[in-house]
Amino acid sequence: MHHRQWRTALLLSLVAPASIQAQLTPNHTQQTDSIPNAGWRNVAVGAAVLAATFLVDAPIANVFESPHSASAASAANTFDKFGEMTGIGVVVGGLGIASLVTRDHHVLSATIRTAASVALATGVTQVLKYVVGRERPYVDPDRDALDFHLFKGTPSGTPSFPSGHSSTAFALATSLGDAIDKDWARVALFGLAAGTGWARLQQQQHWVTDVVAGAAVGIVSAKFANGRLRLLGARAPRILLSSRDVGVRWTFPLPAVH
């Protein structure tokens, strides 16, 4: 244990905990400390970037309001599916089936992490939608991007901020990109996710800040769920797999004890 910080570890094992405990190495604290941490300074920088993006919300929405071609509409409908739960369910379900058929722990672990990433991104997105209560471009009569109903949702019932399609698309792209760990895969996956964000603008469903915030939520959720990022010092539960067991270990910081 680090002499300036106590950490609590919770291990939940379904079967035969001894075989899983073998994976809990003494240097786990050092490994955790080496993981990048997103602190309050990072949150402040992200908020500043998002605030600056508000300046282009209305102008860009006006551009997408202009008549567009049938090919652009068709492309938007295609990209849009990458952020829908039906499309994501097919991908995650396919990974799950592949892990059962091949009995490959790496595929199973990737399936669980991807599902957790999407679930976390979706949960955070839905909470923010209710808290911010922003109207969508096609509902905003003067298209000034400033119609908010804090902590009330929206009268239309479809809050805009952040973009749910963007958050799930980027969560999926980040998780699969980390699992495959190839540059070509990351480029292709993030290209699809970016296409989803463009589609939401093209369809006048979201403002630019909605898409940017959704992308940030998706990426951060995936990195956190995958154990590649700590948030305010906390690390996501760690999935432990052996030939016969499944376990979860969770470490989180406690106040320093001197």
Q: What is the mean pLDDT of residues 140-169?
A: 89
Do 253 and 158 belong to one domain? no
The reported pLDDT for the residue numbered 197 is 95
CATH number, domain at 137? 1.10.606.20
CA distance 172 to 166: 10
Check pLDDT > 50 for residue 3: no
Range of the domain at 28: 1-35+235-258
How high is the mean pLDDT of the chain? 81
Q: 68 is written with which tokens? A: 């567009």
Do 78 and 100 belong to one domain? yes
**What are the φ/ψ torsions at residue 25 (nearest 5 degrees)?**
-75, 155
Do 211 and 120 belong to one domain? yes
The reported pLDDT for the residue numbered 101 is 87
Q: Read off the pLDDT of residues 71-123 as tens digits, 9 standing for 90 and up.
A: 888 888 889 988 888 888 888 888 889 888 888 888 888 888 899 999 999 99
CA distance 155 to 157: 5
Do 105 and 160 belong to one domain? yes
Q: Read off the pLDDT of residues 16-36 as tens digits, 9 standing for 90 and up.
A: 344 444 444 444 444 556 888
Do 91 and 203 belong to one domain? yes
Do 119 and 194 belong to one domain? yes
The reported pLDDT for the residue numbered 242 is 60
In the chain, the amino acid numbered 197 is G
Do 220 and 244 belong to one domain? no
Check pLDDT > 70 for residue 241: no
In the structure, what pLDDT confidence band is assigned to residue 258 with cuts at 50, 70 and 90? Answer: low
pTM of the predicted model as reported, rounded to 2 decimal places: 0.81
Does 24 map to a domain? yes
The reported pLDDT for the residue numbered 23 is 46
Query: Are the C-beta atoms of residues 251 and 9 closer than 8 Å to each other?
Result: yes
Query: Are the C-beta atoms of residues 209 and 53 closer than 8 Å to each other?
Result: yes
Does 179 map to a domain? yes
The reported pLDDT for the residue numbered 87 is 85
Do 172 and 241 belong to one domain? no
Do 119 and 67 belong to one domain? yes
Do 150 and 114 belong to one domain? yes
